[in-house]
């Protein structure tokens, strides 16, 4: 009997101690693991992907014709920029019918075929929810502006002019940077944080929230797998419209992102919509800081899954000057600090995202790498390595897999983007430095990331048989899918390898991130994982050759898991070629 008791105790002891023992391997079965954490998201700007009918504008049929290409990348999720009916004041970010498809992009049948084609290939589809504002051509706004007593009046924010001019609100795209627009029809001002044709919806009105939630359910019922949520932190407003409170120190965007009922509305959205479907949600985190990030994404808050912050992409611009890159370039130490900080924010709770390019950003290789002919490829691959080896869901922008770079327009007439064009007008009014602005725009303007996708070396890069809505980058003759697909050393092949590496090594998804050699101004090095399951990533962010000393006690396997050069040489130090990227197994 005593013996039995002894063995039983011993047995129970073994079970509990095994359970509590820290696992060295990454636990891929943890309940915290989610498909959207393990996914690689590929963003497509539909206007510029592939035109099927020769009108110069990309469309849904165009995307359908390229589904096998998308599948070949190995990515899991496609995020499509807005495809809904729109007069295109801001390329689809001004929606006139949330349940209709933009004429230039096709029909609902095309959409259904696209979704089906994606699902058949195991790819999930995430749409863009633009619900802070609608188009001024939306029926709701047409009604709203028609009279002060119209049932839709409270769908938007109006300020009766007899009360005088409301307190200043800053607008991103207005030619006067003024977010209040006077409308003579009812002698009142309406609010528009973005362009005059993008009036802000009044989320304080429960009817508006219901309209939006019903619309989201409509798309989820069709089988859509998630939403990226455009400036979602801006939805709630103090409708007394006071002067900017002092605690914001003049930071209007931070104020916009902290509306009084924001989190109530997100919780309501979660309850009414998101919780009912197996979908992912990601907030465009404009104005979100380290201090507020958890409020959006912690699981116990029941709001959203992820957000993307702006600290990284805003780094390296001159303070107070509109998107003007520092002439001395950016400092790698500061860059590392930002991404390490955002890793640590979510190291225990919540989950991060990582991106270097999107439709609001210039091409990543121009901004963060080096687009000179000899360095474009290696630096582009190096940045791809960074994106696919960090602890966060990567959002990878279409065309970056080819190493596409900024087009760098010389004159304002070449631009299409309302942000660039209206800022130009604002500067003219203010007698600002136009020349400096146009120089800065070559690096930072959004159209650099919106030029048509480069399929092959034929006319217009095979994007369209018509006249493209935005000029094609002349480097398409060399930088294109056809040229890269069969080349094992191309950017495209490298991207596919990097995606597979992440898929095959869950430690690159969930493993602990540790920054090494923090003060090194040229090399970004870090490890992922712990104990026996640990990977070292070494990235040379310069055009110089560098000997990077291996940290004491860190032994590496001499066959790299990923290398953007064919050469690799290491003893006590690793010899790094310009922009070399290495992913190595730690022994
Ligand atoms: O693009 C920007 C900087 O160049 C941002 O300021 C951007 O306007 C902001 O992040 C909001 O972006 C989102 O909403 C806009 C739309 O133009 C952007 O394309 C979209 O991503 C208005 O809907």
Same domain, 312 and 180: no
Within a domain: 15 = no
Of 457, 485, 504, the one marking the end of a domain is 504
Residue by residue, DSSP assigns 87-133 as --TTTTSS-SEEEEE-GGG--HHHHHHHHHHHHHTT-EEEEEE--SB
The number of distinct structural domains making up the chain is 2
Instruction: Answer yes or no: is the C-beta of 45 below 6 A from any ligand 1 atom.
Output: no
What tokens were used for 304? 């959203």
Q: What are phi and psi of 191, to 5 degrees?
A: -95, 135
Are 382 and 564 in contact, with CB atoms under 8 Å apart?
yes
Same domain, 174 and 308: no
Q: Please, which residues have CB within 8 angstroms of residue 369's CB and are 6 or more apart in sequence?
A: 375, 376, 379, 380, 382, 383, 579
Instruction: Answer yes or no: is the C-beta of 417 below 6 A from any ligand 1 atom.
Output: no
Instruction: Answer yes or no: is the C-beta of 446 below 6 A from any ligand 1 atom.
Output: yes
Are 25 and 62 in contact, with CB atoms under 8 Å apart?
no
Instruction: Answer yes or no: is the C-beta of 440 below 6 A from any ligand 1 atom.
Output: no
Within a domain: 24 = no
Q: Which residue has the tokens 């404009």?
A: 286
Which residue puts its alpha carbon closest to atom 10 of ligand 1? 286
CATH number at residue 144: 3.90.400.10
Which residue puts its alpha carbon closest to atom 6 of ligand 1? 172
Same domain, 187 and 235: no
Determine the pLDDT at residue 29.
Answer: 54
CA of 450 to the centre of ligand 1 (A): 13
Which strands, in side-by-side order, build the sheet including 393-397?
A: 306-308, 280-284, 226-229, 124-129, 77-80, 41-44, 393-397, 353-354
Instruction: Answer yes or no: is the C-beta of 286 below 6 A from any ligand 1 atom.
Output: yes
Determine the pLDDT at residue 513.
Answer: 98
Q: Which residue has the tokens 């002019």?
A: 161
Instruction: Answer yes or no: is the C-beta of 381 below 6 A from any ligand 1 atom.
Output: no
Closest CA to 314 of 371, 258, 253: 253
Determine the pLDDT at residue 578.
Answer: 98
Determine the pLDDT at residue 18.
Answer: 37
Which residue puts its alpha carbon closest to atom 19 of ligand 1? 360
Task: Give the number of the atom of ligand 1 that is nearest the alpha carbon of residue 286.
Answer: 10
CA of 172 to the centre of ligand 1 (A): 8
Could you list the residue range(s) of the whole structural domain that residue 143 is in?
A: 139-191
Task: Give the number of the atom of ligand 1 that is nearest the alpha carbon of residue 93.
Answer: 23
So which residues are the catalytic ones? 230, 284
CA of 312 to the centre of ligand 1 (A): 15
Helical H segments across 185-293, by residue range: 206-222, 252-256, 262-272
Task: Give the number of the atom of ligand 1 that is nearest the alpha carbon of residue 361.
Answer: 4
Q: Provide the sign of the torsion angle of the four alpha carbons 25, 31, 37, 40, taken in this order.
A: positive
Q: What are phi and psi of 41, to 5 degrees?
A: -95, 135
Within a domain: 432 = yes
Within a domain: 96 = yes
Strands (E), 285-373: 306-308, 353-354
Instruction: Answer yes or no: is the C-beta of 90 below 6 A from any ligand 1 atom.
Output: yes
Instruction: Answer yes or no: is the C-beta of 528 below 6 A from any ligand 1 atom.
Output: no
Instruction: Answer yes or no: is the C-beta of 70 below 6 A from any ligand 1 atom.
Output: no
Of 504, 537, 570, the one marking the end of a domain is 504
Same domain, 373 and 439: yes
Same domain, 173 and 264: no
- Estimate to the nearest angstrom the gap between the alpha carbon of 585 and the chain centroid: 29
Distance between CA atoms of 61 and 427, rounded to whole angstroms? 40
Instruction: Using DSSP bridges, classify how beta strands 280-284 and 226-229 pair: parallel, antiparallel or unpaired.
Output: parallel
Read off the DSSP letter of residue 430: T
Which residue puts its alpha carbon closest to atom 4 of ligand 1? 360
Distance between CA atoms of 532 and 171, rounded to whole angstroms? 52
Instruction: Using DSSP bridges, classify how beta strands 562-563 and 546-549 pair: parallel, antiparallel or unpaired.
Output: unpaired
Residue 348 exposed, middle or buried by CB count within 10 Å (0-12, 13-18, 19+): exposed
Which residue puts its alpha carbon closest to atom 11 of ligand 1? 231
Task: Give the number of the atom of ligand 1 that is nearest the alpha carbon of residue 195.
Answer: 22
Determine the pLDDT at residue 102.
Answer: 98
Q: What Cα–Cα distance (Å) separates residue 112 from each residue in 117, 119, 248, 281, 398?
A: 9, 11, 45, 21, 22
Closest CA to 345 of 388, 386, 304, 296: 296
End-to-end CA distance of the chain: 48
CA of 430 to the centre of ligand 1 (A): 23
Within a domain: 275 = yes
CA of 360 to the centre of ligand 1 (A): 6
Read off the DSSP letter of residue 560: -
CATH number at residue 382: 3.20.20.80
Same domain, 152 and 127: no
Same domain, 248 and 286: yes
Same domain, 122 and 94: yes
Instruction: Answer yes or no: is the C-beta of 93 below 6 A from any ligand 1 atom.
Output: yes
CA of 495 to the centre of ligand 1 (A): 27
Same domain, 276 and 418: yes
Instruction: Answer yes or no: is the C-beta of 359 below 6 A from any ligand 1 atom.
Output: yes
Which residue puts its alpha carbon closest to atom 5 of ligand 1? 360
Instruction: Answer yes or no: is the C-beta of 231 below 6 A from any ligand 1 atom.
Output: yes
Within a domain: 581 = no
Number of H helices, E strands in the chain: 19, 21
- Which residue among 91, 135, 136, 172 has the greatest number of ligand 1 atoms within 8 angstroms of its CB, and so is best to mutate? 172
Q: How confident is the prediction along the chain (587 residues), in pLDDT tens digits per residue?
A: 444 444 444 444 434 333 333 333 454 557 789 999 999 999 999 999 999 999 999 999 999 999 999 999 999 999 999 999 999 999 999 999 999 999 999 999 999 999 999 999 999 999 999 999 999 999 999 999 999 999 999 999 999 999 999 999 999 999 999 999 999 999 999 999 999 999 999 999 999 999 999 999 999 999 999 999 999 999 999 999 999 999 999 999 999 999 999 999 999 999 999 999 999 999 999 999 999 999 999 999 999 999 999 999 999 999 989 999 999 999 999 999 999 999 999 999 999 999 999 999 999 999 999 999 999 999 999 999 999 999 999 999 999 999 999 999 999 999 999 999 999 999 999 999 999 999 999 999 999 999 999 999 999 999 999 999 999 999 999 999 999 999 999 999 999 999 999 999 999 999 999 999 999 999 999 999 999 999 999 999 999 999 999 999 999 999 999 999 999 998 889 999 999 999 999 99
Same domain, 45 and 106: yes
Within a domain: 479 = yes
Of 475, 504, 533, the one marking the end of a domain is 504
Are 440 and 325 in contact, with CB atoms under 8 Å apart?
yes
Which residue puts its alpha carbon closest to atom 7 of ligand 1? 360
Determine the pLDDT at residue 30.
Answer: 72
Same domain, 247 and 171: no
Distance between CA atoms of 47 and 86, rounded to whole angstroms? 12
Distance between CA atoms of 446 and 340, rounded to whole angstroms? 26
Within a domain: 493 = yes
Q: How many CB atoms lie within 10 A of CB 187?
A: 11
Same domain, 158 and 267: no
Task: Give the number of the atom of ligand 1 that is nearest the alpha carbon of residue 194.
Answer: 22
3-class SS at 377? Answer: helix
């Amino acid at each position: 009997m005593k013996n039995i008791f002894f063995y039983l105790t011993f047995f129970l002891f073994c079970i509990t101690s095994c359970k509590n023992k820290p696992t060295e391997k990454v636990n891929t079965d943890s309940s915290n693991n989610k498909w959207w954490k393990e996914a690689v998201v590929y963003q497509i700007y539909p206007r510029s992907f592939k035109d099927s009918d020769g009108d110069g504008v990309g469309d849904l049929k165009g995307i359908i014709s390229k589904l096998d290409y998308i599948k070949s990348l190995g990515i899991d999720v496609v995020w499509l920029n807005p495809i809904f009916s729109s007069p295109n004041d801001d390329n689809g970010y001004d929606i006139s019918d949330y349940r209709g498809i933009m004429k230039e992009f096709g029909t609902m049948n095309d959409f259904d075929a696209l979704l089906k084609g994606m699902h058949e290939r195991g790819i999930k589809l995430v749409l863009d929810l633009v619900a802070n504002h609608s188009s001024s051509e939306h029926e709701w706004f047409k009604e709203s502006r028609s009279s002060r007593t119209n049932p839709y009046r409270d769908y938007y924010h109006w300020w009766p002019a007899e009360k005088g001019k409301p307190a200043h609100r800053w607008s991103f795209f207005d030619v006067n940077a003024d977010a209040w627009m006077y409308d003579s029809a009812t002698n009142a001002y309406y609010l528009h944080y973005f362009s005059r044709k993008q009036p802000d919806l009044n989320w304080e009105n429960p009817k508006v929230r219901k309209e939006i939630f019903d619309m989201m359910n409509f798309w989820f019922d069709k089988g859509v797998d998630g939403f990226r949520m455009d400036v979602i932190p801006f939805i709630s407003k103090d409708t007394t419209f006071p002067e900017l409170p002092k605690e914001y120190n003049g930071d209007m965007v931070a104020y916009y992102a902290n509306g009084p009922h924001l989190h109530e509305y997100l919780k309501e959205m979660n309850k009414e919509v998101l919780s009912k479907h197996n979908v992912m949600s990601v907030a465009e985190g404009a104005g979100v800081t380290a201090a507020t990030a958890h409020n959006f994404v912690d699981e116990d808050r029941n709001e959203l899954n992820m957000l993307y912050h702006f600290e990284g992409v805003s780094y390296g611009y001159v303070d107070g000057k509109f998107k003007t890159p520092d002439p001395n370039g950016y400092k790698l130490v500061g860059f590392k600090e930002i991404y390490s900080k955002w890793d640590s924010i979510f190291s225990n709770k919540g989950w991060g995202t990582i991106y270097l390019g999107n439709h609001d950003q210039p091409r990543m290789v121009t901004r963060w790498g080096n687009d000179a002919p000899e360095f474009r490829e290696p630096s582009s691959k190096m940045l791809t390595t960074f994106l696919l080896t960090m602890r966060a869901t990567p959002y990878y922008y279409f065309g970056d897999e080819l190493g596409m770079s900024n087009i760098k327009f010389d004159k304002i007439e070449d631009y299409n983007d309302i942000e660039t064009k209206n800022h130009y007008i604002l500067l003219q009014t203010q007698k600002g430095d136009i020349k400096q602005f146009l120089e800065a725009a070559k690096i930072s303007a959004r159209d650099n990331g919106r030029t048509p996708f480069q399929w092959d070396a034929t006319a217009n890069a095979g994007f369209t048989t018509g006249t493209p809505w935005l000029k094609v980058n002349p480097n398409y003759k060399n930088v294109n899918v056809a040229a890269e697909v069969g080349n094992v050393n191309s950017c495209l092949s490298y991207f596919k390898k990097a995606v597979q590496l992440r898929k095959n090594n869950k430690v690159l998804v969930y493993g602990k991130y540790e920054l090494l050699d923090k003060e090194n101004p040229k090399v970004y090095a870090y490890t992922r994982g712990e104990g026996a399951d640990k990977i070292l990533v070494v990235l040379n962010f310069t055009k110089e050759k560098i000997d990077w000393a291996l940290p004491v006690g860190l032994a590496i396997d001499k066959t790299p898991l990923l290398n953007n050069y064919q050469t690799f040489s290491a003893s006590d130090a690793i010899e790094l070629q310009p922009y070399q990227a290495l992913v190595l197994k730690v022994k």
